Amino acid sequence: METTVLKKIWLSPPHMGGNEETYVKEAFDTNWIAPLGPNVHHFEKSIEDFIGKATYSACLSSGTAAIHLGLELLGVGPEDEVICQSFTFAASANPITYLGATPIFVDSEKETWNISPELLEEAINDRLSKGVRPKAIVAVHLYGMPYKVDEVHAIAKKYGIPVVEDSAEALGSSYRGFNCGSFGDFGILSFNGNKIITTSGGGALLSSSQECKEKAIFLATQARDNAPHYQHSKIGYNYRMSNILAGIGRGQMEVLKDRVEARRHNFDFYNEHLSELPEIEFLHEPEGSYSNRWLTCILTPSFDIREKLRLALEVENIESRPLWKPMHLQLVFEKSTSFVNGVSEDLFDRGLCLPSGSSLELEDLERICGIIKNELK
C-alpha cells in the first residue's frame, strides 16, 4: 500500500544560487582550505559594494560573534549597561553578557515592531538619573523591517550613545534609500542557515573605517601581535570566517537581489490572498522603509487562533512559528531592568511567521493560504 507523504514546507530553508559550488571547489583546487583565502576577500568586497556608503566588512563565524566584537570595540565591559531591543532573537542580547555587562530591555512600537523611540529615551533618562550612562544601544531591524532609523539615531546622538545595528535579518532592506547595516556605529549581518542568504553559518561586522575592520579582524584571529613568535597583549577570539564558507557566501551574494524579490513576492501573495479575512493583519512598510520581507508575519485575533493555525499547518507538514519571545519575558533575563509597554507581549501572543523561503512555489503558497482560510471559516 502506498501512503502519500505531504510535501514538507519549511519556514525559511537555504536556497543556493548555483555558483557557490564553483567557489568552494576553487578553494579545494587551490588548497585554500586553511582558514583565510581569496573567497573571504571577495565575499567581503561584495558585501561592501552592496551596502555602499563607504562600509567596511569583516567576515566572521556568526552574527553573534559580530555583535560581541562590535560591543567590545565600543568598549563595553563589566559594570556597563547596554540598552537592547526586547523584541528580538536572544543572539542580540547574549553578547552583552559575554562582556560582563548588563542588558536593559526596551519594548517596541506598533508601526515597525522595533525599539520604541519614546521608551528608549525614557530608559536613557532613567539610567542617567541613577548615575549610569548606557554604553551602547542594540537596535534590531526585526523580520527585515527597518526600525525607526531617524528617531532612534537622533536620540542616540543627542545622548552620545553609540548604536550596534543588528541587521541579521535585514540584508537587502533599506531606509530612505540607504541599506540596513550602514546606519550604526557598527552594523552586523548573519549568514545563518535560515537567513535570506546563508554560508551555512557565518556573519559580518560592518563599520565605516578600515581601522575598525582591522581591529575586528585582529580580535577575531586570537589577537596576535605583530611578531615572528606568538605574542599577545590582549585576549582574542577564534571568530574569523573560513575560506570554504566564504565561497558559499560569494555565490549567495550574486543572487541576493533575486532572494529579496522572491521573499517580497511571498509577502504580496499572502497579503493579497489573506487580507480578505478580517481576522488577519499584516505589517506594512511605513513611508521610506523597504523590507526584504525575510519572514512574512501575520497577527491573529488571539493566542488561541494563532495556535489553531499553527497546529493546522503542522498537521499538513508545514512549518510556521510564533514571533520571537521578548527578552524581558525570558527566564534567563528575568532579573533584568526593562521598559515595557505591552506591544511585544501582544505580538508574541498573537503573531505567527508563515513559510517565507525564497524557493517557495506558487502551489506551496496556495496550499498554505487554503489551510488558513479553511481554519478561519
Q: Which residues bind ligand PLP (CB under 6 A)?
A: 62-64, 88-89, 91-92, 140, 166, 168-169, 190, 192, 203
Handedness of CA 165, 171, 176, 182 (dihedral sign): positive
Q: Report which of 84, 81, 89, 68 is spatially closest to residue 12, judged by C-alpha positions.
A: 89
Residue whose CB is less far from ligand PLP, 91 or 309: 91
Q: CB of residue 230 vs ligand PLP: minimum separation in angstroms?
A: 28
Q: CB of residue 191 vs ligand PLP: minimum separation in angstroms?
A: 7
Q: CB of residue 364 vs ligand PLP: minimum separation in angstroms?
A: 23
Residue whose CB is less far from ligand PLP, 32 or 191: 191
- Residue 161's alpha-carbon distances to 153, 155, 158, 175, in angstroms, are 9, 8, 8, 21
State the Rg of the chain over Cα: 21
CA–CA separation, 1 vs 28, rounded Å?
Answer: 46
Q: CB of residue 231 vs ligand PLP: minimum separation in angstroms?
A: 30
Handedness of CA 253, 297, 178, 89 (dihedral sign): negative
Residue whose CB is less far from ligand PLP, 216 or 365: 216
DSSP code at position 333: G
Residue whose CB is less far from ligand PLP, 146 or 203: 203
Residue whose CB is less far from ligand PLP, 108 or 192: 192
**Burial group, residue 79, by CB count within 10 angstroms (0-12, 13-18, 19+):** exposed
Q: CB of residue 190 vs ligand PLP: minimum separation in angstroms?
A: 3
Give the cell for residue 134.
548606557
